[in-house]
Amino acid sequence: MQPHELITALAARRLVAIVRGEDPEAALDTVLTLARSGIDLIEVSLSGADALDVISQSRKALGPRALLGAGTVLTAQDAVLAAEAGAAYVVTPAVTEAVAASRDLGLPVLAGALTPTEVVAALRAGAAAVKLFPAGPGGVELLRALRAPFPDVPFVPVGGVDVATARDFLAAGALAVGVGGPLVGRAADGDPTGLADRASAFRALAEGAS
Taking the alpha carbons of 176, 182, 184, 189 in that order, is the dihedral positive or negative? positive
Among candidate residues 22, 97, 131, 141, the one labeled active-site is: 131
The model's confidence at residue 132, banded by pLDDT at 50, 70 and 90, is very high
Do residues 197 and 205 lie in contact, with contact meaning Cβ atoms separated by under 8 Å?
no
Q: Strands, DSSP E only, in 129-179?
A: 129-132, 155-157, 177-179
pLDDT tens for 41-82 read 999 999 999 999 999 999 999 999 999 999 999 999 999 999
- Whether 97 is a known active-site residue: answer no
How far apart are alpha carbons 134 and 160 in whole angstroms? Answer: 7
Check which CATH number belongs to the domain holding 21 and give it: 3.20.20.70
**Mean residue pLDDT across the chain:** 97
The arithmetic mean of pLDDT across residues 169-179, rounded, is 97
Do residues 29 and 192 lie in contact, with contact meaning Cβ atoms separated by under 8 Å?
yes
pLDDT score for 209:
85
- Whether 60 is a known active-site residue: answer no
In the three-class reduction of DSSP (H, G, I as helix; E, B as strand; rest coil), residue 183 is classed as helix
Residue 210 confidence (pLDDT) above 80: no
Q: Containing domain of residue 187, as a range?
A: 3-209
Q: How far apart, in Å, are the Cα atoms of 167 and each of 104, 142, 180, 205, 209?
A: 34, 15, 15, 7, 8
Among candidate residues 43, 60, 84, 118, the one labeled active-site is: 43
| Number of domains forming the structure of the chain | 1
pLDDT score for 200:
94
Residue 165 confidence (pLDDT) above 80: yes
